[in-house]
Amino acid sequence: MITYGADVTPSPSDTTEVGRKILAEFPDTAGSLGCAISEAVEAAVTREGYRYVLGSVLNQVLLHQSVIGLEAHKAFEKIGVTPDIIIGCTGGGSNLGGLIAPFMGEKIRGEKDYRFIAAEPASCPSFTRGKYMYDFCDTGNVCPLAKMYTLGNGFMPSPNHAGGLRFHGMSTILSEIYDQGLMEAKAYEQTEVFEAAVTFARAEAILPAPESSHAIKAAIDEAMLCKETGEEKTILFGLSGTGFFDLKAYEQYNDGTMTDYIPTDEDLERGFAYIPPQPEE
């Protein structure tokens, strides 16, 4: 971004009121998507002519990303194949939500049956260890409340390489789907995700993004299970990006210096403490 002329300010920063508030409360934080959202909103509303559109978690972004699912659905129709398992990485949920949209519609209407798997980082396990409650979508509490699976808006994820998956909450649509039991969720540690990424890269000559590699890990696990049981299943997973911006992470994995982090129950309780009082429904 700097190469192309941008001024880049890491978040949380001391350039916004909410950024200074976050730094005062979490002086050692490496930041998160929730922090960046808070600062971006403040930066937009305090400047004439600026607007900020909240992404990833909210419904309009899943609608936009449904193009991915529609194209995948059409491709399967053309080759006359029906996927058995559909997998996507998930942090805020837009990538997974977009991928599964047309397939989930068929499942809900009773037209077809699919198995859906949300692959998330063990370091930020919103689905697998979060609570289904109303919470703020950002750390500074400047955005509206949303009912979602959340680790608490004050949860600070470890500075690992899960990228955009380092978010405390989850899409409201996906949260409802998960709560209804229409979708599974699995959490993976960082090193096993990169192991899957390297396996994929050597087989397909595509260097996947760390986020996408969570879906790859889940797909490999399901494929290996089929190999053990002798079942034949068609697996669709979302390869949401390339890893060329993440070469430092690959270097750490290949050098053996990459580490894993799984939050303790105490870590999660500190995050849950930030969930606001629940409105009456």
Q: Please name the residue that has the structure tokens 């900020």.
A: 52
Position 30 scores a pLDDT of 84
pLDDT range class, residue 133, cuts 50, 70, 90: very high
Q: Indicate if the pLDDT at residue 80 is higher than 70.
A: yes
Q: Indicate if the pLDDT at residue 159 is higher than 80.
A: no
Q: Indicate if the pLDDT at residue 54 is higher than 90.
A: no
- The mean pLDDT of 54-60, rounded to a whole number, is 83
d(CA 174, CA 183): 8
Position 165 scores a pLDDT of 77
pLDDT range class, residue 56, cuts 50, 70, 90: confident
Q: Indicate if the pLDDT at residue 112 is higher than 80.
A: yes
Cβ proximity of 155 and 168 under 8 Å: yes
Q: Which residues contact 188 (CB under 8 A, 6 or more apart)?
A: 119, 120, 121, 122, 214, 217, 218
User: Using a CB cutoff of 8 Å and minimum separation of 24, what contacts does 131-135 make?
Assistant: 131/272, 131/275, 132/175, 132/179, 133/275, 133/278, 134/275, 134/276, 134/278, 134/279, 135/168, 135/169, 135/274, 135/275, 135/276
Q: Indicate if the pLDDT at residue 199 is higher than 90.
A: yes
Range of weakest confidence among 75-84, 140-149, 223-232: 140-149
Coil, strand or helix at 275: coil
- The mean pLDDT of 95-116, rounded to a whole number, is 97
List beta partners, residue 163.
none
Q: Indicate if the pLDDT at residue 169 is higher than 90.
A: yes
d(CA 169, CA 175): 9
Q: Indicate if the pLDDT at residue 103 is higher than 80.
A: yes
Cβ proximity of 211 and 165 under 8 Å: yes
pLDDT range class, residue 82, cuts 50, 70, 90: very high
Phi and psi dihedrals of 187, rounded to 5?
-110, 140
d(CA 249, CA 143): 32
Percent of the chain with pLDDT over 90: 86
- The mean pLDDT of 257-270, rounded to a whole number, is 94
- The mean pLDDT of 67-88, rounded to a whole number, is 98
- The mean pLDDT of 72-98, rounded to a whole number, is 96
Percent of the chain with pLDDT over 70: 98
d(CA 17, CA 29): 17
d(CA 118, CA 127): 8
Cβ proximity of 115 and 184 under 8 Å: yes
What mean pLDDT, rounded, does the chain reach?
Answer: 94
Q: Indicate if the pLDDT at residue 164 is higher than 70.
A: no
59-272 has CATH 3.10.350.10 classification: no
pTM: predicted TM-score of the whole model, two decimal places: 0.93
**DSSP symbol at 279:** P
Q: Indicate if the pLDDT at residue 83 is higher than 80.
A: yes
